[in-house]
Chain A
């Protein structure tokens, strides 16, 4: 994992001092609210429904146990003893005091953390696959590139006042995309060309929100050393020509659509021709130096212990379920990837208490070299667990409610904080998630349904990624009443698609029934090998419409 050197530490200390000064000037009335706004946003601070909301960056989802313990302490000392894992691999506090935020930033800086650019019209936290570096499928570990992008985008002097927010995601797996790169402003797929050289397939203009769009490929192969100059060209074209007259039309996707992807590509290539050999061009030495931060932990030489696990599976059904659903194969023999699910019914999705943060830190130290990853599905991953300790770990997780074996099932939903917390929301989302979880409380039934991504957003800003849920739920406001609109057939994988709206929206009480009817249609129509999305794509939306609005 990346470790700061004196340069990183110095700049971060300067940033904290700068924001302390800015906060004091804001409180003293020297900075107007309008002038303070982008400054506080770029330091993670929103003013929300009931209190400020403070978003802490977790670069590409990686956290050390020491950082988790510090977060726990911060939630106790400055907040109400809990935090929220977001859908962009970050962490939010819901109740900090404005005047204390500089102190929180100083505490974070001590453990090499910050809230830089977690909001505002700038380049945000770069996200990636939570299984980066440990899954056997990936072309290479994407994290060194994510950190290179993080450093380039941090305090970038030219790109702090873009037309709108800007999100970059990186994926290195050819067959799966846990980073949802095609719905990002820039999506980078790491690939090898015919000559075996490493590079990037570049997507631009994807995004959710009001105008959901799948990114367009503007380059099939960008050599790795050209990454930063090319990103600089893409963002410069956007900074110069993106719309600024209407915030709903200001994202890069609108510009890409207006110019056409080919038109955008031409502008980028033209710009890039001027700067491709500029000092921003990466060097082999820089990449190699960065890769040294992401070397493998001290793995033991082990063999897979399939036989022992098979026997334990046979003896313990719940362990068997957990192993099947929450544990993934590791690239290294004898190890496994374990996902801790934070989707306990009755607890808002992604919420963790200070005590739980410390428990996760202890588990990371005991079982996974002291590191965890946060996922955009709002779960936590222990990436390097010895297979011969899986049973022991499962026993430790169970009383903590982290072993609920619902990963990737209907109940492992993505859900934004919604109207319970967020001032943007049109409707509550947490109670909808809970009501659906209560309706589908039989795990065996959930397993039989297979993978279903149910994503819930409380408004069209789409923090809950509803457009790319197999089943998407969007909260809408109709004359002061909360209603929910359903869409079907979205996907954030390599076959990315935007869900289609089913029809008129429903009141909250109707939602469990509606979801049940949708599931019925799938169950009645599926063939043996089909998952929900396959069936939907084969039979279309009509049968679902007929059943739900019958």
Chain B
């Protein structure tokens, strides 16, 4: 059973089904139930999809979050895919969605999501995490809080250490 852990460390059943990008020439048919659709599919069908509580969007590493600028908060979930855990674009994408576009709903990390990166993801604004299948979600909560503080301002705090010290 797929599970998701929140940035607060709460594990729950993951209801969202991620729909892959259709191959060239194929059309996408959505399964029933809550789905995460690729950004370009959503952009092409925004009129009919937006405002639906069961449709979220997922962004790939190269996707530009600016596309969602005006609509972000219409979406119940935005997922950011990590094609490889070592591909760090998703961290910037997350901060832009939160800090630039004011996105307030669930921001989910999907793909090659491991344990040791979770706290950085959380600091960049992710609020939920679907771990790679072979990783033990039971260990995630402690990884989310390994560091008691950070030096920088990020999505989680407006107070970089130099401001707290002053």
Contact = CB atoms under 8 A, between A and B. Distances in A.
A289 B161 CA distance: 12
Contacts of A304: none
A283 B166 contact: yes
B119 interface: yes
A286 B146 CA distance: 26
Contacts of B160: 152, 279-280
Contact of B150 (A22, A155, A274): A155
**What secondary structure prevails in chain A residues at the interface with B?**
helix
Contacts of A236: 92
A156 B153 CA distance: 9
A158 B166 contact: no
Given A157-B124, A279-B158, A151 B151 contact: yes
A121 interface: yes
Given A160-B120, A274-B100, A286 B165 contact: yes
Nearest to A37: B86
A14 B150 CA distance: 11
A154 B92 CA distance: 17
Contact of B148 (A14, A151, A239, A289): A14
**What secondary structure prevails in chain B residues at the interface with A?**
loop
Q: Chain B, interface size: which category?
A: 35 or more
B152 interface: yes
Contacts of A266: none
Contacts of B149: 7, 10-11
Given A283-B162, A283-B163, A240 B92 contact: yes
A447 interface: no
A475 B150 CA distance: 42
Q: Which interface residue of B61, B87, B99, B151 has the most chain A CB atoms within 10 A?
A: B151
Contact of A286 (B87, B88, B163): B163
A39 B87 contact: no
Given A158-B92, A244-B87, A285 B116 contact: no
Given A10-B148, A11-B147, A239 B95 contact: no
A161 B162 contact: no
A154 B120 CA distance: 12
B95 A158 contact: yes
Interface string A257-287: 0000000000000000011001110110110
A161 B87 contact: yes
B147 A35 contact: no
A251 to B, nearest CB: 15
Interface of B: 61, 85-89, 91-93, 95, 99-100, 114, 116-117, 119-121, 123-124, 146-154, 158-166
Closest 5 pairs (CB-CB, A-B): A161-B88, A157-B123, A286-B162, A157-B120, A279-B153
Interface of A: 5, 7, 10-11, 14-15, 17-18, 22, 31, 35, 38-39, 121, 148, 151-152, 154-163, 236, 239-240, 244, 274-275, 278-280, 282-283, 285-286, 289-290
7 contacts: A11-B151, A38-B86, A155-B151, A157-B121, A157-B123, A279-B158, A289-B162
